[in-house]
Structure 1
């Protein structure tokens, strides 16, 4: 599950980075004032769209890992089912 941890950590870092940038821009635009709720909402949106493009390689690695594990589980299930039918 290393791929899951890497992808999740990178998503969190991307969110925190976008949150920092948005807070900074809001503070500059509104004389040092910002609205925390809108900063969080905008950060989720920006980091979500950015992660789609920036973290594509990590997302693909995670998907391949999940697919491999699912194929192994399905093969093991079919093997047990075949042994049960043979009895």
Structure 2
């Protein structure tokens, strides 16, 4: 059996691709929404345990969204920006 055909390897590569994609989207969201990456204000709002700053929190949030959105074919920056904006507005209320 070739390692590339193993379930563990395919799972590893899919997770690696998800991390890469989430990082790119997180970087773009930070730029478009003018979020400071090293501050910590969003950690409690959208972050997960272990997130240290806004960049980590946004990346965690994006990863969770990509799992759902890719199934619907809506994993694009504008969709993610709108969802994040709504999430932050809801948290502010």
TM-score, scaled to structure 1 = 0.44
Which protein is bigger by CA-based radius of gyration?
1
Greater share of helix: 1
TM-score, scaled to structure 2 = 0.42
Higher relative contact order (CA 8 A, sep 6+): 1
